[in-house]
Amino acid sequence: MGTGPRVVVTLSVLVDGNDLRIRSREHYLKALGDAGFDVLALDASTGVPDDFDALCLAGGEDVEPSRYGAVPAPQTESADPRRDALELALIATARERDLPILGICRGFQVLNVAYGGSLVQHVDGHREANGPIVVHRAAPAAGSKLAAACGTAAFSVNARHHQAVTDDSLGPGLVATAHIDGLVEAVEDPARRWVVAVQWHPERSADPDTS
């Protein structure tokens, strides 16, 4: 791991040594470590640390629908209310301190909920059941923080999600910075120095076919 700024990354609780979740963890930890961060990995069994410099909200389970005033749809999958609570507390702390936040997949969704938005509980075409993640093309909006980091030319992204955000369900204070198939796939808070979230998996760009 790196020795730079301390970044908290939130991860799913391992169940029965689930190999897919182990590999998913390794993607996040390696990407952040290779970027030079001092990485503190948390899951739902832990609390909010006293000291950290940035927050990365990783992929994982569905957000509990009650968090945004909805009842579960038939397609809604397993949720972890403890993880929801931890991440919402971490987001509140990071916003209070104006710390950088990066949301990825589920992290994109829970950030939207933290801002008062909601989720579409199921969409087709952005995840293959028990298969590889799906490749889409995304073009960041000009002038956005995402464009400053990635440019405005369209590029391939690796998606694996079945819940989504639309323009109508976007949280107040967030702006959409990329759309795919009519869905919001990237957001940011222009009032903060760095609050950016994407629906795709940048940590998997070197190994796109891993679930």
Q: Tokens at residue 59, please?
A: 């992929």
Task: Name the percent of the chain in helix, strand, coil, to the closest 5.
Answer: 25, 25, 50
Active site residue 201: yes
Sequence-ordered list of residues with C-beta below 8 angstroms from that of 118, at least 6 positions apart, any chain: 68, 69, 70, 112, 169
Q: Tokens at residue 153, please?
A: 């030319």
Cα–Cα dist 46/37, whole Å: 20
Choose the catalytic residue: 27, 126, 161, 201.
201
Choose the catalytic residue: 64, 87, 188, 203.
203
CA-based nearest residue to 32, from 202, 147, 198: 202
Active site residue 150: no
58 touches 106 (CB < 8 A): yes
Choose the catalytic residue: 64, 105, 161, 188.
105
Cα–Cα dist 109/170, whole Å: 10
Active site residue 122: no
**Catalytic residue ranges:** 105, 201, 203
